[in-house]
């Protein structure tokens, strides 16, 4: 029968607006988190990371917020540009059963409209 | 500097055959991890190699195997291919094991099993 694929949530953003992408992570013992961007036909590209002893980290046009109480991670992109259209993944470093591997979220499709 | 190089980029194989994929990490990176990406399951960890030793393994059958050479280059092998093995196989390299600094991904090998 037909396989059911992951239904990626889609965030539609107007060019120039700010984007917020959310991610719920699974393991309260995870200590390191990364956001990746994947464009069509390419591998995931590192955007920004944050360690569990921090709440916020800023990069160029991007900010990552970490809320350990509710196991929530967000990526904010300022002044979204057409080149920001891609799938965005959050990833957590597992420290319990398989120390060192990354577990990825399902991803969010960001579509930037003119 | 050169990024992570995966060869070949595209591959078509028949059910029952075997396949070998190659990954050359960034110069100086000693850890190589492999991920399978499908629309149905997203990004799933296959295994990690560091100093020619498998450090971590994901939940994949024994048909999936890998190795790492003394120059840190890695290969993964899938034997007795099944239709469900059709996927984008991504290789990622990191300076050290334990995922302290995040991965750099290659562009992947698109495997189609017919």
Three-state SS across A33-50?
EEEEEECCCCCCEEEEEE
B55 shares contact with chain A (CB less than 8 Å): yes
- For A108, nearest residue in chain B (alpha carbons): B42
d(CA B62, CA A52): 34
Banded pLDDT at A31 (limits 50, 70, 90) = confident
d(CA A54, CA A67): 9
In terms of C-beta density within 10 A (0-12 exposed, 13-18 middle, 19 or more buried), how is residue B108 classed?
buried
More confidently predicted of A31 and A45: A45
What pLDDT is recorded for position A100? 58
Q: In residues, how long is chain B?
A: 114
CB within 8 Å of chain B, chain A residues 40-59: 41-46, 49
A32/B106 touch (CB, cutoff 8 Å), yes or no: no
Q: Alpha helices, DSSP H only, in B38-109?
A: none
Spatial CA neighbour of A37 closest among A110, A114, A94, A112: A110
Say which DSSP state A96 is in: S
Spatial CA neighbour of A11 closest among A57, A91, A80, A90: A80
What pLDDT is recorded for position B72? 95
- Pick the residue of B41, B102, B109 with the most A CBs within 10 A to test the interface with A by mutation: B102
- Half-sphere exposure of residue A112: CA atoms within 13 angstroms, side-chain side: 19
> Consecutive 10-residue runs of chain B (114 residues): their mean pLDDT?
91 98 95 93 92 91 97 97 97 78 89 98
């Amino acid at each position: 029968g037909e396989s059911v694929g992951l239904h990626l949530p889609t965030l539609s953003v107007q060019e120039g607006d700010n984007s917020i992408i959310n991610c719920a992570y699974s393991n309260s013992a995870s200590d390191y988190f990364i956001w990746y961007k994947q464009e069509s036909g390419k591998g995931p590209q590192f955007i920004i990371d944050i360690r569990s002893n921090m709440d916020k980290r800023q990069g160029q046009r991007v900010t990552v917020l970490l809320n350990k109480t509710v196991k929530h991670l967000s990526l904010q992109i300022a002044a979204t540009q057409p080149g920001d259209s891609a799938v965005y993944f959050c990833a957590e470093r597992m420290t319990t059963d398989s120390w060192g591997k990354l577990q990825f979220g399902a991803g969010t499709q960001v579509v930037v409209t003119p | 500097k050169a990024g992570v190089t995966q060869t070949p980029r595209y591959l078509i194989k028949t059910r029952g055959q075997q396949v070998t994929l190659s990954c050359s990490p960034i110069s100086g990176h000693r850890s190589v991890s492999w991920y399978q990406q499908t629309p149905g399951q997203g990004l799933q960890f296959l295994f990690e190699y560091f100093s020619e030793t498998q450090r971590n393994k994901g939940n994949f059958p024994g048909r999936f195997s890998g190795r790492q050479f003394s120059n840190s280059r890695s290969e993964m092998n899938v034997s007795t291919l099944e239709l469900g093995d059709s996927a984008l196989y991504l290789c990622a390299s990191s300076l050290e094991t334990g995922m302290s600094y995040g991965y750099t991904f290659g562009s992947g090998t698109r495997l189609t099993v017919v």
